């Protein structure tokens, strides 16, 4: 299966703290990932969303 490379960016400061991949499903409306992750810039757990 094809994997899409994405970065997870902090929604507060925009720092791209994490890199991951996700399965690419063609023809399926994909939800954007949103995860609570630790941001070293904010020094707190914040929501991180996928960005290219």
Q: Which residue ranges make up the site for Zn ion (CB under 5 A)?
A: 10, 12-13, 15, 39, 41-42
Q: Are 39 and 14 in contact (CB under 8 A)?
A: no
CB of 11 to Zn ion, least distance (A): 8
Nearer to Zn ion, 33 or 42 (CB): 42
In angstroms, the Cα distances linking 49 to 3, 9, 10, 30, 31 are 17, 5, 7, 13, 11
Nearer to Zn ion, 6 or 8 (CB): 8
Nearer to Zn ion, 36 or 52 (CB): 36
């Amino acid at each position: 299966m094809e994997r899409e490379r994405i970065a997870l960016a902090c929604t507060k400061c925009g720092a791209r703290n994490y890199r991951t991949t996700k399965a690419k499903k063609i023809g399926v409306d994909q939800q954007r990932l949103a995860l609570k992750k630790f941001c070293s810039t904010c020094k707190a757990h914040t929501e991180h969303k996928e960005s290219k």
